[in-house]
Every structure is written in structure tokens, then in C-alpha cells.
């Protein structure tokens, strides 16, 4: 699986699909703008909602859950890139956050 830094992600937004796999309370407290919310525990049930013809940028809080989700999705034939440092790194870099669902 490929990896990308938050600064690299910031340069390609909003032209990419970001999938946030954190829990709902984490997501509503601040997420990358326009990120699709699919909690890690529901990825096996909801992955068909995602576009197979796009590279999916996977994000969580630090990078572990998003890597797990990305590995699962790659086994299903998707192309994924993990955001290193996750939303925590995004927040610490001072990038814009969206709030709510």
C-alpha cells in the first residue's frame, strides 16, 4: 500500500477521495473536509459503496486503523493510499477541519 503525508494530501484535495475510518464521535469532532465516513468495523459491510476506479486515501487518527482498512480494500481489488500520521498529523499541521456528520 502506498503512503502519503498530510502535506502531500493537502496539495491534492479536494480532487481525491478520502475515507475516514474512525468512530463517529472522532469523526464529528473534526475531519478532513469532504472525507467519507466509514468506520473500520463497517468496512467489510460497506466497501461496495466505494468507487473501484479511484485511488482511495485512507485516514484515521494516527494511521493504524486506516492501514488495516486499506489492506482489506486492496484484497478486494481497490487501490489505496494510507495517510501517515492521520487526522492527528493533519490537525497538528494546522490544516482545515470540518465538523459534524
Per-residue pLDDT tens for 48-57? Answer: 999 999 999 9
For 22-89, give the DSSP string. S-HHHHHT-B-TT-EE--GGGHHHHGGGS-TTSEEEEE-SSSHHHHHHHHHHHHTT-EEEEETTHHHH
- Amino acid 101: pLDDT: 86
Structural domains in the chain, sorted by start: 2-92 (3.40.250.10)
pTM of the model: 0.97
Catalytic residues: 60
Read off the pLDDT of residues 53-96 as tens digits, 9 standing for 90 and up.
999 999 999 999 999 999 999 999 999 999 999 999 999 999 99
Amino acid at each position: 500500500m502506498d503512503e502519503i503525508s498530510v502535506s502531500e494530501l493537502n496539495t491534492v484535495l479536494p480532487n481525491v477521495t478520502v475515507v475516514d475510518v474512525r468512530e463517529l464521535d472522532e469523526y464529528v469532532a473534526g475531519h478532513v473536509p469532504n472525507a467519507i465516513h466509514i468506520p473500520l468495523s463497517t468496512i467489510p459491510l460497506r466497501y461496495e459503496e466505494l468507487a473501484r476506479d479511484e485511488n482511495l486515501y485512507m485516514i484515521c487518527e494516527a494511521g493504524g486503523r486506516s492501514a488495516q482498512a486499506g489492506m482489506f480494500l486492496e484484497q478486494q481489488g481497490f487501490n489505496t493510499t494510507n495517510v501517515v500520521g492521520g487526522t492527528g498529523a493533519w490537525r497538528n499541521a494546522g490544516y482545515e477541519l470540518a465538523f459534524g456528520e
